[in-house]
Amino acid sequence: MKTLLFILLALSLGGLAAFFTLRERKKCPNCGSKNIIKTGKKIYEEETSTVIIASPSSYHKLEYKCNECGHLFLLKQRSLLFE
């Protein structure tokens, strides 16, 4: 019973940590505002050692626009499998 409670507690704490990490708000590098939106533009990049599309070593950059200053910028994110 204690083992089951420990596993449930570990899973819930891990889930909360993952949730808050993924929910991290992005900021404009120009003015520091968190009032930004995605423009929909996506640029794919692969590491030179791999050629598998959307592999764990695959990255993409998403374009964002700041609603405060109008600055356009790209942020690098890791691609998900089967994206």
Domain definitions of the chain by residue range = 2-78
> Rounded CA gap, 37 and 65, in Å?
5
Structure tokens at 30: 């120009």
Which two three-digit tokens encode residue 38?
A: 């995605």
pLDDT-flagged residues of the chain (< 50): 50, 81-83
Residue 56 corresponds to which tokens in the numbers above? 């764990």
Q: What would the pLDDT profile of 24-47 be if each residue is shown by its tens digit?
A: 678 899 998 989 998 988 887 665
Shortest CA distance to 63 belongs to which of 76, 54, 80? 76
pLDDT at 45: 66
